A = this chain, B = another copy of it.
Amino acid sequence: MARWEPDAQGRMIRAALELFDERGFDQTTAGDIAEKAGVTERTFFRHFADKREVLFDGAHTMEHTVHDVTVAAPAELSPLDAALAGITAAGELLADRHEFSMRRSRIVAANPSLQERELLKLAAMTESTTKALHERGVTEPVASLAAHSAVTVFHVAFARWVAEEEPPAFADCVAEAAAALRALQ
C-alpha cells in the first residue's frame, strides 16, 4: 500500500497540525507540510482535495455513523430523538481524542476559511441525518428540521466538550443541550 515509509497520510495530518499550531494556517504552505511529512506537494494533493481538508479527515466516518445509528434507532423514538442518538454516536467517535480535538478546534477557530469548511461538514451531517430520517419514514419539513436541530445540538455540545480541559462525557453535553433546546418556546 504505502511506498517507502508507511502511513503517509497520517504523517501529513500530524505535520499539518504541528505547523498550523506553530505558525498558523495561512503562514503554512502545502509544500511545508509535505516536506515535513517527507513527501512532495503533489502527493499531499493526492491525499487531500485541498489544504484545509487535512484537518477534516474523520468527517466521512462521522457522517456514516450518524446515518447508520439514526436509521437503526428504536422505532418508537421521535424523529428528533432518533437524530440525537445518531449525533451522540458520532460524537463518541472522538471520545479518545480529546487532546487532539482541542488543538484542532483552536486552529479552526483562528481561521475563517477553516470555519467555513467545518460548517460544510456539519451541513453534510445534516444531510445524512435528513436522509436517515427519510428512511425511517419521516416526511418533510419535519425531517429537515429535526436534522438541523440535532446538528445544532451537536454543534453546541461539541463546543462545550472541547472547551473543558477535563472532558465530560459527550453524551452528557448532548443531553444538556437537547434539554435546553426542547425548553425553547
Which residues of A approach B to under 8 Å, CB–CB?
78-81, 112, 115-117, 119-120, 122-123, 141-142, 144-146, 148-149, 152-153, 155-156, 160, 176-177, 180-185
A152 to B181, CA, bound (A): 13
Q: Are B115 and A184 in contact (CB under 8 A)?
A: no
Closest to A52 in B: B116
A78 surroundings in chain B (CB, below 8 A):
184-185
Given contacts A148-B156, A152-B148, whether A184 and B142 have CB atoms under 8 Å apart is yes
Q: Which residues of chain B come closer than 8 Å to A184, judged between CB atoms?
A: 78-80, 142, 145-146, 149
Residues in B neighbouring A152, C-beta threshold 8 A = 145, 148-149, 152
